[in-house]
Amino acid sequence: MSAQGAGGGREQEPNAEGLTSPLIVALDTDDPRRLAELAAAVAPHAGLLKVGLQAFTALGPAAVTAAGQHAEVFFDCKLHDIPNTVAAAAGAAARMGIAMLTVHASGGPAMIAAACKAAPDITILAVTVLTSLDDADLAVVGQPPVAQQVVRLAGMAAEAGAGGVVCAASDVAAVRAEIGDGLAVVVPGIRPHGSTSDDQRRIADPRTALRTGASHLVVGRPITQARDPAAAAAALLAEIA
């Protein structure tokens, strides 16, 4: 496990507003030019830049290198495999120079502990229940309702040594009650006022998410698909100032 709370692994530089930003912008694209443009445009407003499945599958480590030229990188490939394989992948991910890495909490405590041991200098985040899923979706795969499952997974992940968890804004208060204030709580499904929900079901506005205890907010499409991504990022920060 490494640094917690708003730091996400290393001390962040103040952003364009002179503040340490809780904003993580998801660079979800498979176009290397677009990724570089987006990274340069939004980095002055973001605490971290997120490289996820789409960019990494299309572009490989070059996506991390390109994002890392502008800000700390949150590598969000949600690892889920046997402990030995996840440990090896976490070690390889850490060597790319990232600050944060996600694994699926449902991979279990041995898998989470193995990732933390293999990458002790970065923050390992355990994804609880994806923000695109609701109670009906979990019932289909034989799991308890979201509120119950999120708290159970968050407590187990913290116990296993994770540096934080990922959950929806609606679950943050219960997660904080379970894991305390020391760990990062990263919240995707953030939608500024006036934007669409896309495929996210359990969405919240940025101010609400922070007020309930989130340390970081993940925002993708409302910023990356805006006509002016830098202005959209700045506007989102103004909403929480």
Q: Are 175 and 154 in contact (CB under 8 A)?
A: yes
The DSSP bridge pattern shows strands 164-166 and 184-187 to be parallel
Decide if residue 166 touches ligand C5P (CB under 6 A). Answer: yes
C-alpha 187/C-alpha 172 separation (Å) is: 8
Looking at beta carbons only, is 52 or 83 nearer to ligand C5P?
A: 52
Q: At 10, list the tokens.
A: 């290393």
- CA–CA separation, 128 vs 123, rounded Å? 15
Does the footprint of ligand C5P cover residue 198 (CB under 6 A)?
Answer: yes
Task: Write down the least CB distance from residue 186 to ligand C5P, Å.
Answer: 8
Of 117 and 213, which has the nearer Cβ to ligand C5P? Answer: 213
Residue of closest CB approach to ligand C5P: 220
Does the annotation mark 117 as catalytic? no
- Identified catalytic residue from 78, 104, 176, 191: 78
Binding-site size for ligand C5P (CB under 6 A) equals 16
- H or E stretch at 209: helix 206-211
21, two tokens: 């930003």
- Sole binder of ligand C5P in the list 1, 12, 23, 28 (CB under 6 A): 28
Q: Which range touches ligand C5P (CB under 6 A), out of 67-75, 106-114, 172-180, 216-224? A: 216-224
Asked whether position 165 contacts ligand C5P by CB under 6 A, the answer is no
- Min. distance of Cβ 143 from ligand C5P in angstroms? 15
**Residues within window 39-78 making contact with ligand C5P, judged by CB under 6 A:** 52, 76
Of the two residues 63 and 219, which places its CB atom closer to ligand C5P in the complex?
Answer: 219
DSSP state of 186: E
Beta bridge partners of 95: none
Radius of gyration of the chain (CA): 16
Distances 20 to 45, 117, 225 between C-alpha atoms, Å: 9, 28, 24
Residues 118-157 that bind ligand C5P (CB under 6 A): 127, 130-131
- Specify the DSSP class assigned to residue 6: G
Q: Which two tokens stand for residue 215?
A: 């340390």
Give the active site residues.
78
Chain residues binding ligand C5P by CB under 6 A are: 26, 28, 52, 76, 127, 130-131, 166, 188-189, 198, 200, 218-221
